[in-house]
Structure formats: C-alpha cells, structure tokens
Structure 1
Amino acid sequence: MIANHKLLIDQNCPMCNIYGKTFKKFNMLDQESITPYQIVGEELTCSIDMHRAQNEVALHDTVTGKTIYGLDSMIEIFAQGKNWIKKPLQFPLVYLPLKQLYNFITYNRKVIAGNAPSPAEDRVCEPDFNYFYRTLFIVLTALFTGLVLNSYTNHITNYFGFTTPWFVEYIICFGQVVWQGTMILLWSRKNSWDYLGNMSAVSTLGGILLLPLLFMNSFFDFSGIVFLVYFMVVVGIMLLEHLRRCSNMNLGYLPTISWLSFRTVVLFSIIWIFN
C-alpha cells in the first residue's frame, strides 16, 4: 500500500470516482490518499500544477513534496514500489502506446462519462479540449459501431430475405456524425464538439449492448425476430441516454429529433433500395 500520498481526482467525474474506490478496495492507497480536486487545500495547491492536474491525475508525495502526473502516477500506484512491475511499463515501446491511450481517455473523459456540468461553486476540473483526441474518439467509435452493426443487422436482414453490402453500416455511422455535426453547428456551435463526443459515446454504448446477443448466438442460433426485438430495446436505451446527455448540455430535444429522423430515413431507404 502506498501511504503519505495525495491522489487528486475530480469528485464530479464517475470514472475518477470508480478508479479511486478501486484503489482503496484493493489497498493500493490508504484511506486518506484520495482527495477531491475541488476541495484540496492551499497547502497542496502551491506544490501541484493545478492546471495540469485537470488533464492528468496528480499523485503528490506529502513527505518529499514531489508530484507526478497522469500515466506516471498510475504506474506508481499499480507497481506499488516494485521495480519488476514499474520498469517494463516504463520501457518506451510499452510506455508510449500507454501514454497515448491515457491521453485518449483523459481528454475525452467528460463525454465518455456523460456527467452533468460541475456545480458553479466548485473549483473547475475540466480537461482541456483537444481536437486530435476528440476527432480520434469520434472516428474510432464510428468504426467500432459500424463493425458491430455490420455483424448484427445481417441476422435481421437475412430473416426478412435481403442483404446489404458490408460498407452500408459504416456509411450510416459516419453519415450520422456528418448529419448531426451539421445540425449542431446550426443550433449551438459552442457545444458542437462536446455534443458529437457524447453522441459517439451513446453509439458506443449501443454497440456494446449488442455484443452479448451476438456472442450467445454462437451457442443458441436465435431467430431474426429475437435480434430485431433486442435491437429495439437497445435503441430505446440509447434514446434515453441521448436525451439525458442533451439535457446535461442544455440542448433540449432538437438534437434527439434530428438523431431519430436520420435513423428513420436511413431505415426506410435501406428497405426501399435493398428489398
């Protein structure tokens, strides 16, 4: 267990709270080490780069006064002082990909978690906006969703007696980004990147929820009707989550109406073209 340290986390971020509780549960940090960024005292703020700590979680040694950030702090916690764990993780061929993964998550953590804005009275703990990692998040989630849907919808279309080319779902997923991106620029330009990130997170949630049925179908060979009904349930969950996130961003119902309109037009277009 690492003692005499302070790990600064965003108390309003569900992801941060989860890994903070995990560190405590597995005795990787003592009970006093987890400290909300919003309420950390002045005795620490003068020793910690508070702006950097918004982007990269800070681990402060209260004995030496040294602070490490981001991936380095995570490695320190996981290694628990054991060099045979730390050294391989710090090897450049391992460290550099992990660093990119860490940055990918940390700069998108707000749209991944989809939590409401922090209370106005709190010290701000928002990650800086990064065009590269947000664009990468949107592209990768569209590719992932297209891949899952390509496998999933085949079971439905085959049941109804027609098939679609493998690239259709990818066109739909990226088309959704372009369509919603255009709409959000007209409604709320300042929220455009945050909205697209949240929309992509909702799409990813839908893709993940479809995976269990695809996996179980390897053993039970479900009917196309089962795939259709389950798909509608997942769409319902996605709709509720989309509404929740739009409410958090004060965007109202228009983005959700546009989102549903695009999907409806696409559905009837597919039936008309391929059936």
Structure 2
Amino acid sequence: MKTLENQTLLFDEDCPLCQVYTTGFIKAGMLDENGKKPFSNLTDEEQNFIDIKRASNEIALVDNKNKTVIYGIDSLLKVIGNSFPFMEKVGNIAPIKFLLKKLYSFISYNRKVIIPNKKVSEKVLQCVPSFNYKYRIIYIGFAKLMTALTLFNYSELIPDLPKGNFNRELILAFGQIIFQSLFLLKFDRKTILNYAGNLMTVSLFGSLILTPILILNQFINLPEIVVLGWFGITVLIMFIEHFRRIKILELPNHLAFSWIFYKIIALLIILIL
C-alpha cells in the first residue's frame, strides 16, 4: 500500500465502525502512524481551521503540513485513492459520487441510533452528528421495510400460523412506533424520533438474527420447533438490547414492558386475522 503521509483522519471514538476503518487504514499502511485522531482531542489551534460542525457530520481529513481539511466522501476517496487511484477516479464520477454522498449521509446522520452511546459530560468536544429529520425518517422507513420483509418470510416457515401477509407485517411494524410513541408524548419531537430510530434498529437487529434460519431452510427443511425456538431466542435478545438502549437514552423503563405488551397484541392480531 502507498502511505498517505502527514494526513490525519478525525474520527468519532464512540463509533465502533469509525474506529475499525480508521485503524484499518493505518494497519494496511494507507495512513502513517499519526493517521487518525479522536475528534475530542482537537487542539485550540486545529479548531481555528477545522469546521467543527461539519467534522461532526462528515469525517475530516486534515493535512497537517498545509493546515487544510477535506470532509466526508472526499476524505475517504483521497485515502483510498492514494493506494488505488482507479477507485478514486470511479468514485469521483458525478452520478457515483452523488450516490456515495447520500449513502454516507444516511449512515453518518443515523450512526448514533445504529450504535448509541451515553453522552460523556466531561468531554468538551463530542462528535455528535446534527439531527437530520430527512435521514432519520428514511432510516426508520428502511428498517421498517426490512423488518416487515423478514417477518413475512419467517412466518411462512410456521405452518400453524395463519398465512403471512407482507402488508400486515408492515402495518404491525409501523404500529409499534405509534404505540411506543404514546408513552413519550411529554418529550419533544427529536427525542421521540431518536427513540424510534433506536427501536427500529432493534427490529433490524432481530431481522438479521432470523436471516440465517431463512437461508438454512432453503437447503434443509427445518422442524417447526427449531424455527419457533430460534424466534423465541431472538425476541429475548431484542428485549435485552431494547432495554439497554432505553438506559443509554435515559428514557422511562416502562417502554421495555410496553414493547413486550405490543408484541403480545401483535401475536393475538395475527392469530385472529
């Protein structure tokens, strides 16, 4: 690999994904040993020429020699392109770069609902992305769609259940958000949407856990007891993860129990309809 020297990526130390790929760049020799730096460790001098707000939303690549900064997809393309020029050229083709920017924004603006963390009060600087309603709603819609699709296909593996219906699963997934939001009416809109994002991440996480069974069933006919058992384990894992996120978000504990109550209501609706 060709090393990009005197360049430093400012990363969100509370974001596991950010830590992984910045460390990966260094281990691969694409950046030198000083190629990454936690956002919270910025010096006063660096804050004079770095756009702090933009760097919270888009990873910044600092040229330590010239004191210049590029952000987001441009910074990643420069790091990768230094070793693989062809990839940088392809990434800079207008339609491709447009899509890459949208994908980057989709992940960046939602990274704190994908992997949440507690705010650390003693930190002067925290790499927290701006709240973006558009990307939050798109993320919730995406997670809801994936969840409904997975549950629809999974229900097909359980003969004792009434025949699955994709629209039904979609409505139930949407209903979960509405139901849980009723217990958060005293909070502001951002808090509710932030919780909804975490709620749908839990659902998406559950869908990923169910996926191996869906794949395995394509090759062997799994007993219904295995399918039901795996589903039960998945719900338990989801409950634990949901409860953990409630604690991180400092929201009322009763949201964990209303989540379970809704699951029971949804099951009754499926059995009746």
| CA deviation string 1:74-94 (max 9, x = no partner) | 111111254322111111110
Equivalent-residue separation in structure 1 for 2:156 and 2:182 (angstroms) = 29
**SS in structure 1 of the partner of residue 140 of structure 2:** helix
With normalisation by structure 1, the TM-score equals: 0.93
- State whether structure 2 residue 176 is matched by structure 1 residue 181: no
| Partners of 2:155 and 2:161 within 8 A in 1 | no
236-245 or 24-33, which moves further after superposition?
24-33
2:40 and 2:123 in contact (8 A); partners too: no
Q: Which amino acid aligns with 1:166?
A: F
Instruction: Provide the residue aligned with 1:269 in structure 2.
Output: 269
Cα distance in 2 between the residues matched to 1:103 and 1:199? 20
**Secondary structure of 1:68's partner?**
strand
Matched, 1:64 2:61: no
Query: Which whole-Å CA distance do the structure 1 matches of 2:79 and 2:59 have between them?
Result: 12
- Tell me the matched-pair count: 271
Pair 28,245 (structure 1): closer, same or farther in 2 beyond 3 Å: same
* One-letter identity of the residue aligned with 1:100: K
CA distance in 2, matches of 1:10, 1:119: 16
Deviations 1:111-161 (A, max 9, x none): 1112222343341221000000000000010000000111011112x1x16
Q: Aligned partners of 2:126 and 2:117: how far apart in 1?
A: 14
Tell me the equivalent position of 1:221.
Answer: 221
Stretch of structure 1 that moved more, 119-128 or 135-144: 119-128
Residues in 1 aligned to 2:187 and 2:256: alpha-carbon distance in whole angstroms? 12
* AA in 1 matched with 2:216: M
Q: So what's the TM-score if we normalise by structure 2?
A: 0.94
Q: Which runs of 5+ in 1 are unaligned?
A: none
Please, which moves more after superposition, 92-101 or 121-130? 121-130
Distance 1:61 1:230 in 2: 50
**Which range moved further: 20-29 or 246-255?**
20-29
Shift of 1:182: 2.8
2-structure distance, mates of 1:82, 1:217: 40
Contact 1:6 1:34 in 2 (8 A): yes
Q: CA deviation at 1:100?
A: 0.4
Q: CA deviation at 1:188?
A: 6.3
Structure 2 unaligned spans of 5+:
none
| 1-structure distance, mates of 2:122, 2:188 | 21
Q: Deviations over 1:145-194 (max 9, x none)?
A: 000111011112x1x16313332111111111222223222466552111
1:87 aligns with 2:105: no
Deviations 1:22-47 (A, max 9, x none): 22222221121110110122232212
Structure 1: distance between partners of 2:257 and 2:189: 18
In structure 2, distance between residues paired with 1:94 and 1:188: 37
- Match of residue 26, structure 1, among 25, 28, 33: 28
* Structure 2 letter corresponding to 1:39: N
Q: What SS is found at the alignment partner of 1:126?
A: coil
Does structure 1 conserve the Cα–Cα contact (< 8 Å) formed by 2:151 and 2:169? yes
Distance 1:218 1:190, change over 3 A: closer
Q: Percent identity?
A: 34
Structure 2 counterpart of 1:137, one-letter code: Y
- For residues 182 and 92 of structure 1, the distance between their equivalents in structure 2, rounded to whole angstroms, comes to 44
Q: State the Cα RMSD in Å.
A: 1.6
* Cα pair 1:12 1:118 within 8 Å, conserved: no
- Aligned counterparts of 2:209 and 2:65: Cα–Cα separation in 1: 46
